[in-house]
Chains A and B, each alone.
Chain A
Amino acid sequence: MDDQPAGNRTATYLSVIGVEILVWLALWWLQQRFVI
């Protein structure tokens, strides 16, 4: 039933965390860049 190898799944989960960190960095930049 698990078509995908476990290693691929781990990589997918890590990419989810990576995307969340990138979004956080973008929001942090927005918060810092445009504070006057």
Chain B
Amino acid sequence: MHFFDWAIVIAYIAWLVSDGIKRTKLERTTESYFLANRSLPWWAVGLSVMATQLSAITLVGTTGQGYNDGLRFVQFYYGLPIAMIILSVTLVPFFYRAKVYTAYEYLEKRFDLKTRAFTSFLFLLSRGMSCGAVVAAPAVVLSVILGWNVSLTALLICAPAVAYTILGGVQAVTWTDVKTMALTVGALVIAMIFLILGLPGGVGVGDALTIAGGTGRLRAFNFDFTLTETYTFWSGMLGGTFLMLSYFGCDQSQVQRYLTARSVDDGRTSLLMSAYWKIPLQVLVLMVGVFTFLFYLFNQPPLLFNPVHNARMQSSVASTQYETLRQEFQSTFQARRQAAVDIAAARQSGDVVVQARATDAFRQQDETLRTIRARAATLVRETTGDANYNDVNYVFPTFITTALPIGLVGLWIAAIMTAATDTIAAELNSLSTATIIDFYKRLFRPNRSDMHYVFVSRVATGFWGLFACVVAVYASSLGSLIEVVNRFGSFFYGSILGVFMLAILTRRTTGTGAFVGLIAGMTAVAVVAFGRPEISFLWHNVVGAAVVFAVGVAVSFFNREESRGLTVESLKSKV
């Protein structure tokens, strides 16, 4: 990386940390440290909600998915706007009226301590783990692409987040999110412009889209109803809605963002900002991936995007086989490139027959190229013993470091690193809040001063930062990173959502009913996940929520505890 790019990365991270440290003086009470005295404007909170969800995994993994599969992944988000509306009507006003610090505090008001403590524990477990995966994504990729040490890279991402979150609390987290969101969107737009301007002469945007469409990469709707296909319209609308309801409504890392808003309306508006913008933003990220595919359609890509594996294969016992594949790859690339140019020329001249012939040739060469890459991947797995080899996360970083000019490389590396940094900062902040409010203050040291709680919150943030780094190193050995994060969550998300549904929607459900339902829901998800692994993980959320709800209602029917009744109907008059 050029000196100037280094300077951009270091200057930007230094600015984030120093700005976070400036906010240290403001944080003297738990309400200011955790909730910014419920004083932040809706637009800052809204950007923080979006930035927390848009991590480095989005920038690295999703652009790679766009390169490989096109727009297919956008279906994952189709349920998001509906989930946001449901949350704006239900949970958001609940949390505001109940004056809670954590989402799980409400469960004690509605059920009992054990339900609150258990759900909060599940949050700590799943979010703590995913926090590690969020660091691992950019750490592994950047270390390979730039030749850095993976542990040091993880530390470089973690350390600024830990520093400004410990010192500046939620204020630092939110205002850093605002800056990083602006940087990320700017970097995406610049990359898109660069990719469009980089199309070869004679190939217009319409031609490029026609070529991408010819490979199925513009397919954003799959209406097949199948439980085994991960991304379909139905899995997005049903499984996705349940996942988003759980993530934005029951996950402290998101709930804490909108609890900092000035009013219940500001909280709602901040969530609805994602409802309006999340899908278009995701389309932009995937289209950057699609145009990266088009870039490498006209510019020779490497056979393997992971340079470490590329070097290892060249010096391995299978080097001759690898070299043969590489030469085959190069000649097929040239043939596919020519077919793509022919499609563009035929499209411009309006010659339908020639276009159809060129399209057939293009598809054939594209399929051959896919097969060669698949054979190379198999060879890597057999030679290196790396059973999970997949270079999807290396495509876009390779483009950044080899195709973008000096300055833009630094901008993008800074965007990737700080996208991870600000996501884990929000997560560390929420992990610390749940640790202190739901456990330390509630169970162990109930009557200490606010200064004491702020101090132990800072210690807890440091502990979770260290935990995230340790998990990051482990997560780096697991397959496609974006699915790792969602898999961690889907084991608990649906079940936790089921508990909140029982709390809000039913009047007679008791604490014991909810607790037994939660155990049953998680057991059901485990049975489905291990017994029928072919079923897409998005459906686990539906299974978990449905089983918790059904078992919770059934157990409460036979259980004679008194219900506290803080539900949709009764909350207004009782809080």
Q: Please give the residue numbers on chain A whose beta carbons come within 8 Å of chain B beta carbons, in ascending order.
A: 1-4, 9, 12-13, 16-17, 19-20, 23-24, 27-28, 30-31, 33-36
Contacts and interface: CB of A to CB of B under 8 A. Distances in A.
Contact of A16 (B74, B81, B209, B264): B81
B310 interface: no
Nearest to A8: B265
Contacts of A28: 220-221
A16 B272 contact: yes
Given A20-B279, A34-B210, A36-B214, A2 B220 contact: no
Contacts of A33: 209, 213
Contact of B219 (A2, A13, A24, A31): A31
A19 B277 CA distance: 9
B125 to A, nearest CB: 33
Given A1-B263, A34-B212, A36-B355, A9 B268 contact: yes
A23 B93 CA distance: 28
Nearest to A19: B276
Contacts of B355: 36
Contact of A27 (B210, B283, B359): B283
Contacts of A17: 81-82, 85
A1 B93 contact: yes
B172 interface: no
B71 interface: yes
Contacts of A2: 93, 264-265
11 contacts: A1-B93, A2-B265, A3-B264, A3-B265, A9-B88, A17-B81, A23-B280, A23-B283, A34-B212, A35-B213, A36-B343
B571 to A, nearest CB: 12
Contact of B209 (A4, A23, A27, A30): A30
Contacts of A36: 210, 213-214, 343, 355, 359
A19 B440 CA distance: 44
Contacts of B264: 1-3
A20 to B, nearest CB: 5
B219 A23 contact: no
Contact of B279 (A12, A23, A35): A23
Given A1-B93, A23-B283, A16 B220 contact: no
A1 B85 contact: no
B96 interface: yes
B209 A34 contact: yes
Interface string B335-370: 000000001000000000001000100000000000
Nearest to B79: A20
B218 interface: yes
Nearest to B210: A34
B84 interface: yes
Contacts of A27: 71, 74, 220-221, 283
Interface in B266-292: 268, 272, 275-276, 279-280, 283
A30 to B, nearest CB: 5
Contacts of B96: 1
B214 A13 contact: no
Nearest to B213: A34
B278 to A, nearest CB: 10
B442 interface: no
B97 interface: yes
A18 B243 CA distance: 22
A10 B82 CA distance: 13
A16 B85 contact: yes
B265 A4 contact: yes
Contacts of A4: 265
B312 to A, nearest CB: 39
Interface string B70-90: 010010001001101100110
A21 to B, nearest CB: 10
B154 to A, nearest CB: 36
Contacts of A3: 263-265
A12 to B, nearest CB: 7
B213 to A, nearest CB: 3
Contacts of B71: 27, 30-31
A10 B210 CA distance: 40
A34 B209 CA distance: 6
Contacts of B218: 30-31, 34-35
Contacts of B219: 31
A14 B276 CA distance: 11
A19 B97 CA distance: 30
Given A20-B81, A24-B78, A30-B71, 13 more contacts: A3-B263, A3-B265, A9-B88, A13-B88, A17-B82, A17-B85, A19-B81, A23-B283, A27-B220, A28-B220, A31-B218, A34-B213, A35-B218
Contacts of B97: 1
A3 B261 CA distance: 13
Nearest to B355: A36
A5 to B, nearest CB: 10
A35 to B, nearest CB: 5
